[in-house]
Structure 1
Amino acid sequence: MPTLTKLYTMQEASEHNSAGDCWVVIDGKVYDVSSYLEEHPGGDDVLLQVTGKDATDEFEDAGHSKTARELMESFFVGELDTSDIPQLEIVSEKQENYIFDLTKQYWAVPLAAIGISVVVTFLYLRKK
């Protein structure tokens, strides 16, 4: 029989944000690390800074070992319910064209300056 995994919203996870009740979210999984604060090799302040938050980036940046990742599973309490997380908006083609048009404008000024320089030089040399 499959084990049912509890789903938590980010709001629910963020309510567990103290030394006595410390939850972190890493890679969409929710961990209760309250009992691990004193044992954490980096100190409890590292965990307390990210308690009640998504700590995926901080966890990955620290370069945790395979052993640390295995130990982390013992603190697993559930998964993050991603249905309430807003999705990133995809840039529309119209916005992409606008950005491309701006880059064209940056070429206009130097080309105009070069064109004026050529005309002035031509007129100057013609008078000689």
Structure 2
Amino acid sequence: MSTLFTKIINREIPASIVYETDKVIAFNDIDPQAPVHILVVPKKEIPTLNDIEPKDSEYLMEMYSAIKEITRDLKIAEDGYRVITNCNSHGGQEVFHLHFHILGGKPLGALLV
């Protein structure tokens, strides 16, 4: 069964896409938690951080490159931003397709520790 993100990748459901390559797609979160809230998703279905394999390194590097480019384009790189990945239920993961949240556009405050 395809994840919600795979359906976005396949254009089966709409999304506000801000960046795309052959390995990565990035789009605005539908429930933003900051002025900038973008999800960066590999086009390969990797359920969680726990499921990453060495052969997935090209997807991860492409995701980090996307984050660098997106934050520069949106002019939040210099002031700063946060990148979050949730893993499994205790980590708050809701869609089991690896993804990074980019949050920025305002001071974000302290993290829950």
Structure 1 and Structure 2 fold alike (TM over 0.5): no
Normalised by the size of structure 1, how large is the TM-score? 0.20
Q: Which has the higher strand share?
A: 2
Which protein has the larger Cα radius of gyration, Structure 1 or Structure 2? 1
Q: Which has the higher helix share?
A: 1
